[in-house]
Amino acid sequence: WLIPLRYLLERYPSDYLRYYACFKAANSTRDSDFSLREFQRKVNNELADNIGNYAHRVLVLIHRFFDGIVPNPSCFDRDDERFKAFIEKAPSELEPIYEEADFTKVGDRILQAFSEANSYLNLKEPWRKAKQNVEEAATAIYLSVNFLRDAMVAMYPITPTLSSRVLSFIHVDGDLQLSWDSLGRFLVKPGQRIARPQPVVKKIIDAEIEEDLERLRRGFLEEEPG
């Protein structure tokens, strides 16, 4: 089935299509067919559940436990130091992949980074530590919001609208600092005010895909040469 790009852009945010395309249009000969079901899975499972949910969790935690202000980190334990080092070295590992224009590998590396960040957040449990050891929770939140900020800058070429929206929550002064040189420098400072976040990725429901498939069967299919 031929799915007109104009139709997809009218139906879904362009970032969804850009994100999916980065896995389908690498500098290789891999299959580039567009699958609506696969598109839905990648948006829902990765862009919404993994990336979008992480962003919302971190920013909500800042508001819930630190009154919307980035907390000041104190002592760093071994897990904190490891995650801090991960944030510092990530740009140098991702940059050559971008330069090769291997966007499938870029997407995979970004997903791996969010998996690492989610594991760290779940390990540190700042929502629980804030009631028991606020200093430990503050360090975890400080590192997590700096990871989020860097990840959004790194994803900007793929998902500019999503990245800009998350960055606007973090940098309420409007100075988004999108340069690659800004990565790994922990530019989200203690005392910085964070805007109250809203969910940033809306899932694609089954009914939307079913409607698309039905329209393909009844309409677009007839436009294909026989």
Q: How many Å apart are CA 222 and CA 12, to the nearest integer?
A: 23
Residue range 13-24+35-212 in CATH 1.10.3210.10: no
168 neighbors 195 (Cβ within 8 angstroms): yes
Helix H segments across 42-159? 53-66, 78-99, 103-124, 126-129, 134-155
Q: What is the pLDDT of residues 111-160, one digit of tens each?
A: 999 999 999 999 999 999 998 899 999 999 999 999 999 999 999 999 99
**Residue 136: is it exposed, middle or buried by C-beta count within 10 angstroms (0-12/13-18/19+)?**
buried
Residue 69 backbone phi and psi in degrees, to 5: -115, 130
Q: What is the pLDDT of residues 5-31, one digit of tens each?
A: 888 999 999 999 999 998 876 544 444
pLDDT, residue 221, reads: 45
Question: Rounded to whole angstroms, what are the CA distances from 61 to 3, 28, 73, 111, 206?
Answer: 41, 41, 15, 22, 31
Q: What is the pLDDT of residues 53-104, one digit of tens each?
A: 999 999 999 999 999 999 999 889 999 999 999 999 999 999 999 999 888 9
Parse the chain into domains and list their residue ranges. 13-24+35-212
**Average per-residue pLDDT in the chain?**
90
Q: How many Å apart are CA 139 and CA 40, to the nearest integer?
A: 35
Percentage of residues of the chain with pLDDT beyond 70? 92
Could you tell me which residues are beta bridge partners of residue 193? 69
The answer on pLDDT for 206 being more than 50 is: yes
The answer on pLDDT for 43 being more than 60 is: yes
For residue 155, the tally of other CB atoms under 10 A from its CB is 24
pLDDT, residue 31, reads: 44
Q: What's the token pair of residue 210? A: 């079913």
Q: What is the pLDDT of residues 187-197, one digit of tens each?
A: 999 999 999 99
